[in-house]
Structure formats: structure tokens, C-alpha cells
Structure 1
């Protein structure tokens, strides 16, 4: 049962919003667990390689365990790094004695698997008791037996990436809280940048939101939390399907506006795009440095590569995507 604090008389159930929308269930067989990443064939890899011009590289992961904190979904905690061994242990005589008398540092990290830049498993979000490709949601009990992040991690993600800088397009450092845009806005912004979104492009969208986290007071960042982002429409879902977009990457925590403004439904694109179509979601990406460089040299396409950690039965996994221009 849905236990969200909403009035079911005013906010529709997810199934009502999704009724009649396309799915890719069964398209790649009954056992498929990577969805639209199937579009990234060897030809698509080579198309990405062909985008390389200068050899400049950019990594897109936010820092983990930043002293200011880590941007995470409200209710989650940022990564906690804990020293287990350092010089102090040896000064106190508690360090282990080793042949040759070397010393060392050791530490561990406690974190949400989705507490940094990360890939969602395709089975991460669902409604009506079924996850991506029609697998029973009961398969998530105790760990995701189906459509976990592991198949994505085992495969890796490589193709032509394209960056759409919505914040820059609208003349802003960062989009406003709850500010929305749709696929028409993406197309218009791409045109203004002098590039076209092509079929099977890995789509990166900058809002400036995550970058702003490090310049803002955390309490203000999370108060009345509604991120800017893509907003749901049937036309947008059809566009993603027709364009065969394999992967959506944004500098927001949810990859979409937190609450769909027309209905009040929370994160419907997780269901329409990820659960139903199998579009891979990459969230909390650091896109500011890449965007600044793209604006400088007017090159908005590049080789995008990513390999999330191979977490068995995981609902998501941290990743440090690498872009080569």
C-alpha cells in the first residue's frame, strides 16, 4: 500500500499517470536487466569515440565525505569516512609490527549506495508490485535478485554523450527551486548551443543545482525541498522512447523535478522512464567544470564512459563517470 502523506482524492495513483504509456518490457527478452543500455552497441561506442577532438578529460563524481557534507536525498546521510589506522596508532605503540617495519593508514566508509554520484538499478523504483521488465517486486526482498545495479556494472556504459546546459541557456548560474523544463526546452537549448540531440545519445543535463549545494547553507538547500528538473508528460516519454535515449545524467539528486507540478505526484519519471522504458538514471553528477569548458570551446558532445561499482543485489552504486572530449 502507498503510505505517502497525501490525499488520494487529490493526487492520482502512479498507475493512473502511467496508464497507456509505452514500455520496453520484453523488447530484449524476458530476462533482460539493463534496458536501454542495450542500445549502446559497438557502433555507438565508436560514434562516441569519433566525438573525441582534444583529449581533454573530465570526471563527473562529486566528492565523497566532503567536510561541508554530501548532497543526498532528504532522509539519507552523507558518506562517513572513519580512520582505522594512522600514524597516531604507531606513535602510541598500537600499530602492528611488520617485517621491515613499514607503517600504513587504513580507513572505512559508511554510506548509502545512492549517497554519491550513482547509477540507479532499473528495479530501484516501482508501482503495482512490478519492477522493470515485469519482474515481481518481491524479488527485491533482502536484496535485488532481478534488475539490480550489478548487470549495469558488469556491462559498463560507453557511448556518445551530449551536454545540455539548461542553466546557461536560461541565463542563470543555477535553476530555481522547482523550475521545470521539458524535451522541447532540451531541443531548443541544444540548437542554441549549435548541436543536435541524436538518437541513442547519452543525455547529460546541467541545472547548476548540485554545484550550488557547496555554496549554500545546507538548511536552506533542503528547506521545502523541490529540485528543478524535467517534468513529466506523455509527449516527453514518447520522445525518450523514439530517441532511444539509453542513459539520463543530471546534476540533481532525482533527475527530475521532485514533485510533478500538475498532479503533485513524486518522481513520476522514475516510473515512466526507468521502470517502464529501462532508461538508466545517473544522479548527483558534477557537471559545472565540464559545462564551463564546453561553453568555452563550443564542443558539447564527447565520449561518455561509466562503470558503477559491482554491488551484488544493489539498488544502486557509486560511480565516477569519465568524459573525454
Structure 2
């Protein structure tokens, strides 16, 4: 199927939607599923108290994994001891000195959450709001509703790369619904309704272990899920509130099924209101899960409260 003769609207014509499910003014989407019961279900998964943070380092001198075309985060000191040594600043009372710095980055230039209005088609964002509401700031479906609510519940790691016997999946390799279910079965864990999914491909380890040239070489095409009617119906039926991966876009860059770019952003983010948590470091968590065979945990994340933002950085916390 060629991207030249089919539109995303045609591809997703029969796909389910959650528009109106939580009212005509809803901007939170499937995170509405994460009520107090889901938080307590996540807490009930905690056994050892071990903590893992999933955020990637920001503004490394060697560079960070970002979507092609986005600028690298820039970190700069605005004052430090040298500022005092050269006489540009004088110490505060009693000789107190301090350092300060700034960072310039795309709000989606590191581990982050997408706002529900980040991607759209047919001039409508999630819940049917007009795409004109994105002009000069997200008036509707910005990152703020997700940031204010938080994303907390029972998380489950699906280590697809390990299940397939690979350090990392290949460029553009598809993860099917059957792969997700088979991975869970091999791990001895059951995916339950309203679980927050973390799907490991091993792809970010290519960037950190082999360098940016290996990560970006040729046509950029990450491995991952892609649109099929069965997969999207499963997300809908299972009431999945959010999912994260160790890739930049949480899905195949170019779908091997449709030939189009990022169709799941349309099917899941725009139509179902499923939150996308992208660019997660999952290697340490995956190693620990393989060692103790515990693949469920409390997942807690709160993106920064960027007013009218299309997304926001986050450092998700997993407690096993």
C-alpha cells in the first residue's frame, strides 16, 4: 500500500474513537482511566521498593537522541565562579556566591510526553477540537491536562527485544500484537485492563553504545508497533491509558503496513487519546526484571506544566 495513493483519514476510517467518552470538553483522553483504583493497583505491584528512573540525560556533549530535524538541547552557564573571579559579579552578603545556568531545547527533545493535540488530521485534534486551536500555542489538548493529572498506575514491561533473542530490534522491524501477547506469556505475566505499557526494543542502546551515526544512518526508520485494525481495537478494548517505548516516536517511523509515517499517532493519540511517553531508557529496568522475573510495578510520571505546550520533558519513575 503506497503513501502516495492513500490518506491517513482513509486508513483510519473504521478505527475506534474515544471522542465524547468523557464529555465534549475533555482534553485528558485515556488518562481518565487512571483513577484512584488504578493507582492502588499499581501500588499493590510493589514488592522490593527498588526504584528506576527512565529519563535520558539531557544536553550531553556527545549529543542526545532526538527526532531528525530537531535541534540538540543546549546547556549554558549564565554565571559561575569565573564570573566572580573576573569581577563581573560581586558576592552576596557574607561572601556567598552561586552558579546559574539555562537550557534551550525542544519540549520533545528528550524523554517526554506528547500532548493530545500534538498530531492531527482532517483539521481536528483529539475529541474533535478544531486544529486552528493549535495556532500560536495549544488552546486545546495541550500537555497541561496530563501534567496536572499525572500518569500513575500499574505498569508492565514487555521486553520484546529479549523475547526475540536480540540486543536490539532491527531498523524498521515491526512489533505485532501477537509479539506483545507472546512476550507477556513468555515472561509469565498477564496484561490487564488499564495497564500502562512499557515496550522495550533496545533501540536507544544503539545510540548510546554505537553512536549517533549508527542510530541515524540511511533512512531513519525506527522499529516498533504500527497500525493494524487488530492492534488498535485491542488498545481500545483493553482501555490502555498510556504507553512508552525506548524509541523517539513509539512506533515504526514508516509503517510497513500502510507505507505512511506514524499512523499510530493518528489512531491512538488523536483518536483514542492514548498518551505517548517517548524516549525512555529501559535497559536497567529490563535487566532487573529479567533477573527477578517481576515485570509489573508502580509507574508514575508527571510531565512539566508547560502552558499551551505540545509536549513536555519527563523523568518517569518505576517502583518494583
Q: TM-score with structure 2 length normalisation? A: 0.98
From 181, 184, 197, the equivalent of 1:187 is 181
State whether structure 2 residue 285 is matched by structure 1 residue 290.
yes
Please, which runs of 5 or more residues in structure 1 have no aligned partner? 1-6
Change (3 A) 1:45 1:220: same
Partner in structure 1 of residue 74 of structure 2: 80
CA distance in 1, matches of 2:178, 2:10: 24
- TM superposition outliers: structure 1 runs of 4+ over 2 Å: 7-11
From 249, 252, 255, the equivalent of 2:247 is 252
State whether structure 2 residue 54 is matched by structure 1 residue 60.
yes
Q: How do 1:1-325 residues align onto structure 2 when only pairs under 5 Å count? A: 10-223=4-217, 224-325=219-320
The SS at the match of 1:204 is strand
Question: How many residues are paired up?
Answer: 319
1:220-269 CA-to-partner distances (Å, cap 9, x unmatched) read: 31121100000210111100000000001100000000001132100000
Q: Is contact 1:249–1:281 with CA below 8 Å preserved after alignment?
A: yes
> Quick check: 279-288 or 255-264, which moved more?
255-264
Q: Is contact 1:11–1:263 with CA below 8 Å preserved after alignment?
A: no
Q: Is contact 1:309–1:319 with CA below 8 Å preserved after alignment?
A: yes
Q: Is contact 1:85–1:106 with CA below 8 Å preserved after alignment?
A: yes
The SS at the match of 1:146 is coil
Q: Is contact 2:3–2:260 with CA below 8 Å preserved after alignment?
A: no
The SS at the match of 1:159 is strand
Partner in structure 2 of residue 4 of structure 1: none
Please, which runs of 5 or more residues in structure 2 have no aligned partner? none
Offset of residue 92 of structure 1: 0.9
CA distance in 2, matches of 1:51, 1:259: 36
Q: TM-score with structure 1 length normalisation? A: 0.96
> Quick check: 217-226 or 7-16, which moved more?
7-16
Q: Is contact 1:11–1:265 with CA below 8 Å preserved after alignment?
A: no
CA distance in 1, matches of 2:199, 2:101: 34
What is the root-mean-square deviation in Å for CA atoms of aligned residues?
1.2
